[in-house]
Amino acid sequence: MEFKRMAVEKKRPAVAVLEDGSVFRGSAFAGQAHACGEVVFNTAMAGYQEVLTDPSYSEQILVMTYPLIGSYGINDEDMESRSIHLEGIIVREYQQWPSNYRSSRSLARYLEDHGKIGIEGIDTRALTRRIRTQGAMRGIIAVEPANISELKEKLRAYPGLVGRDLVCRVTGRELLLWKNNTLVPAGVLRPVHTGLRVVVLDCGVKHNILRSLEHLGCEVVVIPSRFSSADIIALNPDGVLLSNGPGDPAPLTNEVETVRGLLGEVPVFGICLGNQLLAQAAGAQTAKLKFGHHGVNQPVKNLLSGRVEITSQNHGFHVLRETLPADAEVTHINLNDNTLEGIRYPSRLAFSVQYHPEAAPGPHDSQYLFEEFLALMRSRRFKAA
């Protein structure tokens, strides 16, 4: 009883405040001060480490709908990038004693090391229902808050995600190679290569995308998102992968122009934000979803095969079907809300999906898409020869 009483006394009060004025009170298990971001919920039961390190969550505050988080700690093998990109995490009940032979530290320690906030004790069911009803909202989380009115003022000054370029915060700064599960400086690339060279436009790429390409025997070159189409063609790629990434695709005019210059020149495969960049380059438009798709249980129908895939997703924006060009073919749809999940452009050597075929976390139903990309690159190389 004495131990429990001491644990309660050490808890620090914390709050989450939404832009509609609602206040949710709990206690902090990591971090200090305050942070603003868009509040979103994720329906996965596990995989919080991969979510924390997914650059697509930049400037977001994550609510986990599964109530018990932290039970297996943090390990060094399942990172999806080199850092934590979201602003904070809200859980119903934090599990402070990890039980996993691979665990090297607790979730709280990992958050503390990166200066991020963790809050527990909040009614995450009520918070999730509010987001589902009202839509994704800006929010602020704070540890040991002195004045709720001051927090609301800070939140009103926060601009949110719409219309802002967040890719510049997460893209790389130099040419890199993915080798043996790590990124290394590329140096001078060989102009002629025997294997398939894939150039990855890094808008916030997850490491498991790179692992998936390496597993298929590809040479994986990772480039900053500001590279031009001429820069990419000069690398002599067999294919270009447009990666996932955070925020609104609409202001990414430089990346869209780059993709437009690649269409018809080299096979292109887009994932998540890459799907939106490809669609915009082809002439389509994007819009914000009410509360986004975040989780590992999203049902998607493949219209070409008739099969239903359970997919991993993380996006708050989508491509508007009515704005697609005439040469675009819808290949996948979301069975929850009928939004676009996959598009191909046969005359432009390009295709893309809105979800994550590399999973991490999530099911592996959609990994065949990497094989299709491989086949497209091989076909193109054979014709060129």
**Which 3 state secondary structure label does DSSP give 119?**
strand
Q: Which of 209, 199, 203, 265 is nearest to 237 (CA)?
A: 199
Rounded Cα distance between 17 and 130, Å, is 12
**Across the beta sheet with 308-319, what order do the strands follow?**
182-185, 176-179, 219-224, 197-202, 239-242, 268-271, 350-353, 340-345, 329-334, 286-302, 308-319
In whole angstroms, how far apart are CA 353 and each of 65, 107, 262, 308, 362?
25, 31, 18, 14, 16
Q: Which of 87, 272, 309, 332 is catalytic?
A: 272
Beta bridge partner(s), residue 12: 28
Q: What's the token pair of residue 9?
A: 């006394």
Q: Which of 85, 207, 332, 356 is catalytic?
A: 356
Rounded Cα distance between 293 and 298, Å, is 8
Q: Which of 19, 59, 341, 358 is catalytic?
A: 358
Give the ranges where the chain is alpha helix by DSSP (H): 2-9, 48-52, 107-113, 124-134, 148-157, 167-170, 207-215, 229-233, 253-262, 273-282, 368-384
Residue 358 designated active-site: yes
Active-site positions? 272, 356, 358
